[in-house]
């Protein structure tokens, strides 16, 4: 059935609809008509292929309702199908369906575990974690008899986004840094092997908006930095809200043999209902630290622990150190202050032994780590920085340490304290890893001391310089 929505795509939107790739990211700046194009991309495919199941996502339901459900009720012709409010989906006359979905939390993706997604569409992709995206991508499959001329597109994924947000780093890595704009390049096997393409979009690509709302550009100009640059220019080098500039290119390496005589460290962040985190490190002669092993005590669900007793954790540590080949080495072990506090004795009441006491019974002796939150975030950032004169950052992570690599880029700055991370996030690897950076602090470069001398108006120079 031929139906018209009255949608007339502009050149960049038309480029999105005609793109030969099947894993597309469209956008950058605010205002190029990303959401509008995404919604009609879904509608057009539902009209082309009978029985198609398309899923259109936003992070939260209010965003989904305001940006897609309500507009679709105005735009999609009634003769094409009917919107089922209770099921949040359009049901079309040819048997195709457009489902509206949201994933506010990582765990929400599991409600789509049994879904068969023929076309996945995600609006504001940088609001999603890479875990959410990878899980939803794993639902993308299509047993329908697709016409040959469409097989390069279905099953497929089409996304739209501005820079910034919790997913900025991984989205930038997979599209913006992966290939030149408009270039179609196949993704690595571990990332699905689909054919990717990034189509940049700016406000200038939407002259209709410029006519209907000529002051929109001035409202963008009125935003504080870095939002102004990110939303107006589509600058993907701007990071907003992320606590750390963690780079897989610069901070992650392939595993190396652990040197025979270098000092080994273990860092520990206790957890029971929430995950515990353990990291093993070695340091080179330049003071660079290498995370070569980890044990993340989660049940497979983000931010949910395994509820293991201290005795079982201690036994697990010894087993893993045996497997790592370091069980005979002298290991310096750091842990947070909660490991040295007596815990409730749930069986007999009263106070039970601390984690440090329990570990000591197993021959694992913990030392208190420095848990100063304002100092440790500075040291952690200093370690992650890429040297201006080239070379590797002073914190390196083996590619096998997948939980560190997964969680560190997701951490956000605390909205009430920019010198701390948002502790509602999955910060266990961070808290644990900070013990090593605090135990081996980096000195402040001399040029930064000189800058402090000039800028500080209230302290004498000898206090600032530490003389």
Q: Give a yes or no: residue 100 inside a domain.
A: yes
pLDDT-based confidence at residue 41 (cuts at 50, 70, 90): very high
User: Quick check: 184 pLDDT over 90?
Assistant: yes
Question: How far is the C-alpha of 131 from the C-alpha of 137, rounded, in Å?
Answer: 10
Same-domain status, 89 and 154? yes
For the stretch 250-276, pLDDT in tens is: 999 999 999 999 999 999 999 999 999
Q: Give a yes or no: residue 456 inside a domain.
A: no
Same-domain status, 298 and 166? no
pLDDT-based confidence at residue 462 (cuts at 50, 70, 90): very low
42 sits in which H/E element: helix 34-48
Number of domains the chain is built from: 2
Same-domain status, 161 and 272? no
Identify which of 109, 107, 101, 95 has the alpha carbon closest to the alpha carbon of residue 60: 101
User: Quick check: 59 pLDDT over 60?
Assistant: yes
Q: What is the DSSP pairing of strand 89-92 with strand 195-201? A: unpaired
For the question of whether the overall pTM of this predicted structure is more than 0.85, the answer is no
Answer with the residue of higher pLDDT: 203 or 431. 431
Identify which of 137, 133, 140 has the alpha carbon closest to the alpha carbon of residue 171: 133
Same-domain status, 80 and 30? yes
**Which residue bears the tokens 């201006």?**
388
Same-domain status, 320 and 205? no
Q: What pLDDT does residue 465 have? A: 30
pLDDT-based confidence at residue 248 (cuts at 50, 70, 90): confident
Q: Give a yes or no: residue 455 inside a domain.
A: no
User: Quick check: 294 pLDDT over 70?
Assistant: yes
For the stretch 304-336, pLDDT in tens is: 899 999 999 999 999 999 999 999 999 999 999
Identify which of 115, 79, 114, 83 has the alpha carbon closest to the alpha carbon of residue 98: 83
For the stretch 324-381, pLDDT in tens is: 999 999 999 999 999 999 877 656 556 789 999 999 999 999 999 998 888 999 999 9
Give me the CATH number covering residue 15.
Answer: 3.40.50.300
Answer with the residue of higher pLDDT: 218 or 447. 218
Structure tokens, 258:
């652990």
- State whether residue 215 is helix, strand or coil: coil
Same-domain status, 434 and 310? yes
Q: Give a yes or no: residue 106 inside a domain.
A: yes
Q: What pLDDT does residue 238 have? A: 60
User: Quick check: 208 pLDDT over 90?
Assistant: no
Q: What pLDDT does residue 212 have? A: 63
For the ranges 122-126, 199-203, 316-320, the lowest mean pLDDT is seen at: 199-203
Q: Give a yes or no: residue 273 inside a domain.
A: yes
User: Cβ atoms within 10 A of the Cβ of 335, count?
Assistant: 24
User: Quick check: 178 pLDDT over 80?
Assistant: yes
Q: Helix H segments across 186-262?
A: 207-212, 216-221, 227-233, 248-251
Give me the CATH number covering residue 260.
Answer: 3.30.420.280
Question: How far is the C-alpha of 304 from the C-alpha of 290, rounded, in Å?
Answer: 26
Handedness of CA 25, 28, 34, 37 (dihedral sign): negative
Strand order in the sheet with 195-201: 81-84, 89-92, 97-102, 53-58, 119-123, 156-161, 23-28, 195-201, 185-186
Same-domain status, 280 and 219? no
Question: How far is the C-alpha of 331 from the C-alpha of 281, rounded, in Å?
Answer: 10
Question: How far is the C-alpha of 38 from the C-alpha of 56, rounded, in Å?
Answer: 8
Same-domain status, 70 and 219? yes
Q: Give a yes or no: residue 118 inside a domain.
A: yes
pLDDT-based confidence at residue 428 (cuts at 50, 70, 90): very high
Same-domain status, 76 and 164? yes
Question: How far is the C-alpha of 388 from the C-alpha of 445, rounded, in Å?
Answer: 12
Q: Give a yes or no: residue 453 inside a domain.
A: no
Q: Helix H segments across 150-215?
A: 168-171, 207-212
Q: Give a yes or no: residue 461 inside a domain.
A: no
Question: How far is the C-alpha of 36 from the C-alpha of 32, rounded, in Å?
Answer: 9
Same-domain status, 215 and 266? no
User: Cβ atoms within 10 A of the Cβ of 85, count?
Assistant: 9
Same-domain status, 212 and 72? yes
Same-domain status, 222 and 292? no
Please, which residues have CB within 8 angstroms of residue 192's CB and are 6 or more apart in sequence? 23, 137
Give the residue numbers spanning the domain of 373.
249-446
């Amino acid at each position: 059935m031929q139906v018209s929505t009255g949608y007339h795509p502009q050149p960049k939107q038309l480029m999105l609809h005609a793109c030969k790739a099947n894993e597309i990211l469209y956008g950058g700046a605010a205002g190029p008509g990303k959401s509008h194009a995404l919604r009609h991309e879904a509608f057009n495919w539902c009209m082309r292929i009978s029985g198609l199941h398309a899923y259109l996502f936003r992070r939260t339901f209010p965003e989904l309702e305001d940006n897609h459900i309500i507009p679709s009720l105005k735009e999609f012709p009634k003769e094409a199908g009917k919107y089922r409010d209770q099921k949040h989906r359009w049901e079309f006359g040819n048997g195709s369906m457009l489902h509206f979905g949201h994933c506010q939390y990582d765990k929400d993706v599991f409600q789509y575990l049994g879904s068969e997604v023929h076309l996945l569409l995600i609006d504001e992709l940088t609001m999603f974690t890479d875990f959410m995206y990878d899980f939803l991508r794993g639902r993308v499959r299509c047993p329908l008899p697709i016409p040959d001329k469409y097989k390069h597109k279905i099953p497929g994924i089409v996304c739209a986004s501005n820079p910034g947000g919790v997913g900025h780093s991984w989205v930038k890595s997979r599209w913006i840094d992966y290939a030149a704009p408009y270039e179609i390049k196949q993704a690595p096997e571990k990332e699905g092997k689909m054919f990717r393409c990034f189509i940049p979009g700016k406000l200038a690509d939407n002259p209709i908006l410029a006519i209907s709302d000529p002051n929109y550009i001035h409202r963008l100009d009125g935003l504080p930095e870095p939002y102004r640059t990110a939303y107006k220019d589509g600058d993907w080098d701007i990071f907003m809200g992320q606590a750390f500039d963690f780079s897989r290119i610069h901070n992650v390496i392939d595993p190396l043999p652990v040197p025979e005589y270098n000092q080994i460290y273990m860092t520990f962040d206790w957890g029971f209902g929430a995950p515990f985190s353990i990291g093993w490190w070695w340091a080179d002669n330049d003071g660079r630290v290498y995370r070569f092993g980890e044990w993340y005590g989660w049940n497979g669900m983000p931010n949910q622990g395994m509820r293991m007793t201290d005795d079982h954790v201690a036994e697990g540590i010894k087993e893993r150190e045996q497997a790592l080949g370091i069980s005979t080495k002298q290991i310096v072990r750091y842990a947070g202050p909660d490991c040295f506090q007596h815990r409730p004795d749930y069986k007999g009441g009263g106070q039970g032994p601390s984690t440090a006491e329990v570990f000591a019974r197993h021959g694992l002796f913990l030392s208190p780590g420095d848990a100063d939150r304002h100092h440790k975030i500075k040291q952690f950032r200093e370690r992650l920085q890429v040297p201006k004169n080239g070379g590797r950052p002073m914190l390196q992570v083996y590619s096998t340490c997948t939980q560190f690599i997964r969680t560190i880029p997701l951490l956000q700055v605390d909205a009430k304290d920019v010198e701390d991370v948002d502790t509602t996030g999955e910060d266990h690897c961070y808290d644990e890893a900070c013990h090593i950076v605090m135990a081996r602090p980096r000195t402040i470069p001399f040029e930064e001391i000189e800058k402090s001398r000039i800028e500080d108006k209230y302290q004498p120079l000898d206090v600032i310089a530490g003389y």
